[in-house]
Structure formats: structure tokens, C-alpha cells
Structure 1
Amino acid sequence: MAEQVVEPRKGRSEARRIPQQQRGRDRFEKILSVAAELIEKNGSDALKMSEIVEKAELSFGALYQYFPDKSAIVRTLAERFNEQGRECVESELAKVTDAGTLRQALCNIADEYYDFFRQEPVMRDIWIATQADRMLQEIDAGDMEFHAQALFSVLGRLEPTRGKDELLAIARLTMQLLAAAVRYANSLDDAAGRATIALYQRMLPADVCRLS
């Protein structure tokens, strides 16, 4: 029996639920693996569903059962990479006990994020593309807010008498500046990129809580 083609949904692209059966999970992961290979080779803008079908040896119907369009695939890849980034941030912030260790944690996060994007050209391509894609901008904004809230929690612990609105503003600005530094550094060659991260780290204040 021929597989039924599931038409892409209109509006916001989302992946179907991860299949429960092993065969379905294997197909799901194969699609993502093939898409990542194609993005690494040609960039996310050039990604085509027809190429995924050919390289993954699937029918269009099988592909659409899991992803309605290429935006859903890119979104899923971005969210997976973001999960790894969140683990890094949470791990570093968990070590913070005072202003000095907070500054060191931010330096470590910048180093780890820079290395992460250098080692993952697929995510680097997607991250750079967020400026031109509204869907990816939403994912990026949500991820940034997660990091800001994580830092806000630490700032509240270090400065319990400070106003929450003030600390949240500091947390959001701090994480935005860190992300901007990493994004810019990754647009350069590796030597210049690492020098940029080092410069950003030297510019970090000794006490982030005292930014305002």
C-alpha cells in the first residue's frame, strides 16, 4: 500500500511528534542526520526537501509524516543544539558563589559557546541565519530568555536586596552582549575569533551585579 502524503500545515512550521516505534524513530533521526549533512555542505538556505528524500532514500510521504517543510527540520535542529547550550550555561552558573566566580562563569560560557559553534558548522549556519528568518528569531529569543532567567536567578541569590526589575535587566543585557560577542567572533577566522572572545572577556566588569 502506498504511503499517504501528509500535506504541510500552513503557518508556523513544527515537527510532528517524535515517533514511538523504533522504525519511526530511526527514520526521524535519519532525516535530521541527512539534513545536517546537506546544511553543512551547502547551507540552510539551499536545503531542499527533494534532496533529503533522495539522500535518505525515503518517499515524500514518509518525509512529510515527520516534517511538513524544511523550516520544521531546521527548527528541530536548532532546538536540539540549544538544549546543549542550555546545559553548558546551567553547569557554569551552578558553580557561582560570588562576583568573581560569576565573572569566570561568563568567561567560560563565552569560550564554550565559541568552541561549540566552531565545531558545529550546521548550528553556526543556522545561528547566523536567525537574523533573516522570523521563525528562527523566535527560537533564538526564547533561548536568550532562558539564559537570562538562569542568570537572573544567580544575581538574585548574590544580591537579594536589589530590585528584581533591575537585576533582570542586567541579566538580559549581559546574555545579549555575550551572544553578540560569540556571534561576531564566529563570523571571523578562528584566530581573529578567539582574539575577539579574549577581548570580550577582558571587557567584562569585575562585578556584573554593579552594572547599574
Structure 2
Amino acid sequence: MPTKKPKLSGKTTNRRNPSQIRSKERVEKILLTVKTLIEQNGISNLKIGDIANHAGVSPSSIYQYFSDKETIIIALAEHYMVQISSLIEKNLDKLEEHARVEDVIRQNFYDIYELHQRERALHEIWFESVDPKLNQLAFQDTQKNAQLILARIEPFAKQGMSKELGEFVLLASHQFAATMRLSLAMGEECGTDFIEMHCKMVTRALSDYIIADIL
């Protein structure tokens, strides 16, 4: 039985939101084509003409839903952002099962690291693109995920340390992105060493802000 491809949605960046089933399927096909082309040729070589040819649509059809190539890439980036947020939420749920924060941090890192390894398009979008809009989107996504994490661990904050904990979670979230880039660039042999170092540093620093038992 063939593997079912994940549906990709360009809802928040479409120039015209597709309402009919055929239109939605066309948008999904365009995004899947973009993903494949990025994996094959890199994000810098992506062209509207190539997208149209491989998706079996006309360039004008693409422009019905996306204003330009950059908008399509952002739509694909948003698809990956949803996946990453889902991974984070899934791991944070384990805190309710008395998992330790250190284990959750480590699982988050490895899950997202493995997603980058599986999805070359994701790696290209976040680390090879120079589009300021995409960089801003990545910044905003980091802020959102930091708030997601904070909401789940703030109940464990030491008395009077909620503000400092929030600032630390935000800082650690941005450091996470830099560590992820380094880990992927260095390869699996020593890349995982940086993951472990990051997790240990974050866990030790967290001890200043949350109760020790949850660590």
C-alpha cells in the first residue's frame, strides 16, 4: 500500500483562500511540488516556471493563490511550524505523567533534529533562505513556542521567579535554534554531542528558576 502523503496547507499565506475542493487540492499539489523541488535543487534554484511544470499547472494558476515564490515558501514553512509545535506539545504533555523537564527538553531537541534530517526542505527553508520575511517568521515562531513551553513549566517556578523564568525560556529557545544549526552542520557523529551539551546547560540553568523535583 503506498504511503499517504501529508497534506500541506497554505491557508495563512494564500493570496486567495481556496474554498472549493479542487482549489484546495491544487494548492496542496503546488506545495508538495515545491517541497520536492527544494529537496532536489535547493531553495535558491526554485523557480515559478519549474513549479508550474512539475505540478502540471500554469504559472497563472499559481498566482491565483500565491503572490510570488517567496509566499509559497512561507506557506510551506508554516506547514513545518505546525509540525514542530505539535512535537513540542506532545512532549510537554509528558510532564503530566511526571516526566522530568530535562527528559522533555532532550526529547524535543531530538525529535526536531530528526525532523530536519528527514525533511531536507525544512533544513533549506530555515537555514539556507535569506528572505527577511522568512527570518521574521522564524523569530515569531520561536517566540510562540517559548510561550508554549513557559505556560507548561511556569507552575513549577520558584516563588517570585516567574518573570525571570519567562526570560530564560525565551533566551534558551533562541539558543536552541543556533544549537540546532550547529548540530546539523557538524553531522550526526558529533552533532548529538552539542545536543547533549545544550540540554545539560539548559537543565542546570533552570535549577535557578524552578523547583528541583521536576528537573
Distance (Å, rounded) in 2 between the aligned partners of 1:156 and 1:26: 41
Partner of 1:56: 55
Distance (Å, rounded) in 2 between the aligned partners of 1:98 and 1:160: 21
Higher mean C-alpha displacement, 120-129 vs 199-208: 199-208
C-alpha deviation, 1:139, in angstroms: 0.9
Scaled by the length of structure 1, what TM-score is found?
Answer: 0.85
The Cα offsets for residues 89-125 of structure 1, whole Å up to 9 and x where unpaired, read as 1111222269971111111111111101000000001
Contact 1:15–1:66 (CA<8 Å) still a contact in 2?
yes
Q: In the TM superposition, what are the counterparts of 1:27-176 in structure 2 within 5 Å?
A: 27-96=26-95, 101-130=100-129, 132-159=130-157, 161-176=159-174
The Cα offsets for residues 11-48 of structure 1, whole Å up to 9 and x where unpaired, read as xx942344121111111111111111111111111100
C-alpha deviation, 1:174, in angstroms: 1.6
- Uncovered stretches (5+) of structure 2, i.e. residues with no partner: 1-11, 211-215
- Does residue 182 of the first structure (1) align with residue 199 of the second (2)? no
Distance (Å, rounded) in 1 between the aligned partners of 2:148 and 2:193: 27
Q: Over aligned residue pairs, what C-alpha RMSD do you find?
A: 2.3
Contact 1:78–1:126 (CA<8 Å) still a contact in 2?
yes
The Cα offsets for residues 159-195 of structure 1, whole Å up to 9 and x where unpaired, read as 1622433121011012122222112111122223223
Contact 2:164–2:209 (CA<8 Å) still a contact in 1?
no
Higher mean C-alpha displacement, 76-85 vs 196-205: 196-205
- Uncovered stretches (5+) of structure 1, i.e. residues with no partner: 1-12
Identical-pair percentage: 26
Moved runs in structure 1, 4+ residues, more than 3 A?
97-100
How many residues align? The count is: 199
C-alpha deviation, 1:137, in angstroms: 1.1
Distance (Å, rounded) in 1 between the aligned partners of 2:184 and 2:108: 14
What amino acid does structure 2 have at the position aligned with 1:47? L
Contact 1:144–1:176 (CA<8 Å) still a contact in 2?
yes
Change in 2 beyond 3 A, CA 1:110/1:121? same
Distance (Å, rounded) in 2 between the aligned partners of 1:71 and 1:62: 16
C-alpha deviation, 1:203, in angstroms: 3.4
What amino acid does structure 1 have at the position aligned with 2:145? H
Scaled by the length of structure 2, what TM-score is found?
Answer: 0.84
Contact 1:103–1:206 (CA<8 Å) still a contact in 2?
no
